Amino acid sequence: MHILKRDLFYTYIPSPLGDLLVGGDGDTLHLISFPTGAKTMRHADHWQRNDKMFKDVATQLNAYFAGELKEFDLPLTLDGTEFQNQIWKNLATIPYGETASYGDMAKKAGRPKASRAVGAANGANPLPIVLPCHRVIGSTGDLTGFGGGMEAKKFLLGLEGALEVQGQLV
């Protein structure tokens, strides 16, 4: 991942899912990484720790986990392909507490047959939670892969009231 090659500042923010790695350049947020899951990252040796720089990020994440924030307002850097950036921006349009399918996201991007490409873009999302890829599910309503792990995806959807199991919210 090319993010690791950059000189970034970072901190770890406690959350109900464990300590989240947060990285940015001082002006914009570049990444959030879960402590577990297939896409877990650690800070690079050449990054500088700076807890004060991420106070607004911590405040908004804490409010989100407390159920008080439904939409983030943070300056972001998206460093993907044109298609990835489009998908990542579109993630922010999925309302809190709702889900969309990979097919829905492909149609919204103007590429209705690109469900797999949407899945790949979601898998490369450097800013989960803020750009809520956890809200994207299979067309049958099945929960599908998530870089932070399926338990994290279930937790986030449950927090938002978007996860139903046998007719009951979890």
Strands 168-169, 164-165: pairing is antiparallel
Which of 29, 133, 152, 156 is labelled catalytic? 133
What DSSP string runs through 74-125? --B---S-HHHHHHHHHHTTSPTT--EEHHHHHHHTT-TT-HHHHHHHHHT-
CB half-sphere exposure, 50, CA atoms < 13 A: 16
Query: End-to-end distance of the chain based on CA atoms, in angstroms?
Result: 34
Question: How many other CB atoms are there within 10 angstroms of residue 59's CB atom?
Answer: 12
The verdict on whether 133 is a catalytic residue reads: yes
Catalytic residues: 133
